[in-house]
Structure 1
Amino acid sequence: MNTEIKQFPKALWLLQVAYVSVILLANWFDIRIIEFGPIATDAGTLIFPFTFLLSDLITEVYGYKFARRAIWTGFVFNFIFVAYSQIVISFPSPAYALESNTKFDSLMGFNIRIIIASTISYLLSEPVNSYIMAKLKIKTKGKYMSFRFVFSTFIASFFDSFIFGTIAFYGIIPGIDLIKFNAAMWLIKVVVELIGLVFSIKLTKKLKKFECLDMYDHKTNFNIFKLDAAYSHDSNFYMKFK
């Protein structure tokens, strides 16, 4: 069956909005440390794994090129968030709001370090996640989707957790505790991926059917700085392996 590629996929915009929203939420709550029994982590870790689920889904259905665009979109909105927060705290405070504004400015000042750490780890881990997904899809001819989702997240979340945790909390969380903290973030991200796997696989299959798309990146230039999202018709394998 020769299926034409739709110029404007119907659901892609919603996935990209969700992706960017999760990134911004995670960055805002990363500053709050929480405990689960013996495990300590930042609150952003609970929601950040959904970026991997969403990028897996985008890569699987629409292709690496659209996942790459989503990654850069997230980066741009992060930059806007940081820039605006710096503008806000640079303004003088009225006397009656000095105490509360001082606390807010202190919070935002530390949150900048969190966001910088998150941005660096994000720009390294998210492309790795989508790259592994795209390459494994070609290697397996679209089979073993669950394995590909989990494996790509397992590798990418390792880089994300240890890079982010080290930059954000070095000098704040001591020595071995920082290693445990990073490992806990990694574990939680993988567990969240596993919990959401059934839902994400079902959604992926429904989206393929809904969009009539199942993109393969045989001819893709995986350079993260490329922004083109054009695919030839023979990149769409929807129904070819059915």
Structure 2
Amino acid sequence: MTDTQALKPSARFASIGSPYFGIMLAALAVVLILSNIGASKGVVIGPFITDGGFFLFPLAYILGDVISEVYGFRVARKAIITTFLLSVFASLCYWIIIALPGFDDDFSTAKQSALELALGPVPLIVLASLLGFVVGQTLNSLVLVRMKERFGEGRLWARLMGSTGVGEFADTLIFCSIAAPVIGITDFPTFTNYVLVGFVYKTLVEFAFVPVTSMAIGWVKRREPSYGVAPF
């Protein structure tokens, strides 16, 4: 073993034998599915333009950070793929529900129209969200894990903030490019506002929650038998 190898920081990861990963995976899927529904509504708050899922989606990245830091890139990739497939399934369910024949009275017709208006655009939003989610979460996880492998257990705050910037930018740009016409954004200045507000908001929220995310990561690490207690 060379001196360089001896001094190289060690990066620990846990296996997924405990129940904690399953709970976080379920929460990640629910957050993404709900944010897909909320994102079909355009929202204007003063000069800022966003969508109805704006308060949910940062939670997906926080959960992704915890999974990546504790379990590593391979497990995080499984979580991303599983969440992707569950969101596709939810979108197919919306399509089937809308397509099923219903009653022809006025009340039922009104409900059908409401379903079509509320859930009809969701498949396109899901496409935007899933493409952004897959690329953004993959980059987020990859950057976080590579930084951990380089620096070891230290500098957790740097891993969380660095991976967030890369992942959120890719995610927001992809999502907004597809979702903008669905929620009624058709001109470039409004689109630019939509992208910048989404990116800055999500990034700042995650930065603000770095202490909370760090505590959550520490809590899971201490309770994962295959990880053990490690300083970070």
Q: TM-score range by the shorter chain?
A: 0.7 to 0.9
State how many pairs are aligned: 217
Identity among equivalent pairs (%): 23
Q: Residues 129 and 136 of structure 1: is their aligned pair in 2 closer, same or farther, counting only changes over 3 Å? A: same
Counterpart for residue 129 of structure 1: 140
1:180-236 per-position Cα deviation (integer Å, ceiling 9, x unaligned): 11110001111210222111101111211111444xxxxxxxxxxxxxxxxxxxxxx
2:41 aligned with 1:28: no
Aligned residue identity for 1:25: L
Counterpart Cα distance in 2 of 1:45 and 1:4: 31
Q: What is the aligned partner in structure 2 of residue 11 from structure 1?
A: 20
Q: Which runs of 4+ in 1 moved over 3 A?
A: 3-7, 238-242
Report whether the alignment pairs 1:186 with 2:199: yes
Write the mapping of 1:60-139 to structure 2, written as runs, cut at 5 A.
60-96=69-105, 97-139=108-150
The 8 Å contact of residues 37 and 119 in structure 2, kept in 1 or not, is answered as no
Cross-structure match for 2:219: 206
Distance 1:204 1:84, change over 3 A: same
Structure 1 residues without counterparts, runs of 5 or longer:
215-237
Q: Match of 2:209, SS?
A: helix
Shift of 1:130: 0.5
Q: TM-score, normalised by structure 1?
A: 0.83
Alpha-carbon spacing, 1:7–1:92, altered in 2? closer, same or farther (3 Å): closer
- Structure 1 residue 241: Cα displacement: 6.6
1:101-133: CA deviations, max 9, x gaps?
122113322121111111111121111110011
Instruction: Give me the TM-score of the superposition, normalised by structure 2.
Output: 0.86
Stretch of structure 1 that moved more, 203-212 or 152-161: 203-212
Q: Using the alignment, how far apart are the partners of 2:71 and 2:39 within structure 1?
A: 30
Note if contact 1:61-1:213 (Cα within 8 Å) is conserved in structure 2: no
Partner residue in 2 for 1:232 = none
Q: Structure 1 residues 135 and 7, CA, compared in 2 at 3 Å: closer, same or farther?
A: closer
RMSD: 2.1
In the alignment, the residues of structure 2 paired with residue 98 and residue 71 of structure 1 have an alpha-carbon distance, to the nearest angstrom, of 38
